[in-house]
Chain A
Amino acid sequence: GQQLNQSPQSMFIQEGEDVSMNCTSSSIFNTWLWYKQEPGEGPVLLIALYKAGELTSNGRLTAQFGITRKDSFLNISASIPSDVGIYFCAGHSWGAQKLVFGQGTRLTINP
């Protein structure tokens, strides 16, 4: 079945640093989604991408839908303590009836 490879698995950074993470797939997706999960809560949708090459921002977060349709990137600029959490990518392909999720990137920020 389809699988997503999300990297890195974890990140330890200083407050104020920029963050980059990505997801790659062996197959094509038509939608890429990025979620953030905080302790004790469910994943929250951050950004949805629907078109190859699309670049979308949500505050300090920017995500891109890769041209090949097989990857996506999430960047966080000037990280702050509340950015801590687990970030998940998810992909959806036409005709599929479910999302495929990455394994998550755990972000830890040192103040």
Chain B
Amino acid sequence: DARVTQTPRHKVTEMGQEVTMRCQPILGHNTVFWYRQTMMQGLELLAYFRNRAPLDDSGMPKDRFSAEMPDATLATLKIQPSEPRDSAVYFCASGPNSNYNEQFFGPGTRLTVL
């Protein structure tokens, strides 16, 4: 049963600390997306990759967020330094094609910044 996996599932940290979230896309999928979900804003697209190359990260605060794909099996989202307003659930999703129209989500990382 192929699934997107994310670690950690929960993270509590203090303001100013670095946070790293990891995602393993479904094997064979060539598109990877990072989303943030909050009650107020719903699902927001932060960044996405195709064949490991970043295509758009306009949804991310550039000064503190960074997203990378070191290899085809790992995507990372880093926040440095973290702030309380970053508290949210962060989802990774992967897709099997370059049409971006089917995306399969991971279980998410619930981040709380105190």
- Tell yes or no: A111 within 8 A of B by CB: no
Instruction: Identify which of residues 34-53 in chain B touch chain A, using a CB-to-CB cut-off of 8 Å.
Output: 42-43, 45, 48
A-B contacts counted at CB < 8 A amount to 49
Contact B93 A42 (CB under 8 A): yes
A22 to chain B minimum Cβ distance, whole angstroms, is: 17
Kindly supply a per-residue 1/0 record for chain B positions 75-114, scoring 1 wherever the CB is within 8 Å of any chain A CB and 0 otherwise.
Answer: 0000000000000000101000001111111111000000
Q: CB-nearest residue of chain A relative to B48?
A: A98
Which one of A10-18, A43-51, A54-62, A68-76 contacts B? Answer: A43-51
B25 to chain A minimum Cβ distance, whole angstroms, is: 13
Contact A42 B48 (CB under 8 A): no
- Tell yes or no: B14 within 8 A of A by CB: no
State the CA gap A97–B97 with chains docked (Å): 11
- Tell yes or no: A66 within 8 A of B by CB: no
Contact B42 A42 (CB under 8 A): no
A42 touches which of B100, B102, B108 (Cβ 8 Å): B108
Interface size class of A (residues with CB under 8 A): 20 to 34
B24 to chain A minimum Cβ distance, whole angstroms, is: 13
Interface size class of B (residues with CB under 8 A): 20 to 34
A92 to chain B minimum Cβ distance, whole angstroms, is: 4
B37 to chain A minimum Cβ distance, whole angstroms, is: 9
Report chain A residues within 8 Å CB of B99: 31, 92
A88 to chain B minimum Cβ distance, whole angstroms, is: 7
- Tell yes or no: B18 within 8 A of A by CB: no
Report chain B residues within 8 Å CB of A40: 107-108
Residues on B lying within 8 angstroms of A by beta carbon are 4, 33, 42-43, 45, 48, 55-56, 91, 93, 99-108
| Interchain residue pairs with CB less than 8 A apart (26) | A31-B99, A31-B101, A33-B102, A33-B103, A40-B107, A40-B108, A41-B107, A41-B108, A42-B4, A42-B91, A42-B105, A43-B91, A43-B105, A45-B102, A45-B103, A48-B101, A92-B99, A92-B100, A92-B101, A97-B56, A98-B45, A98-B48, A98-B100, A99-B45, A103-B42, A104-B42
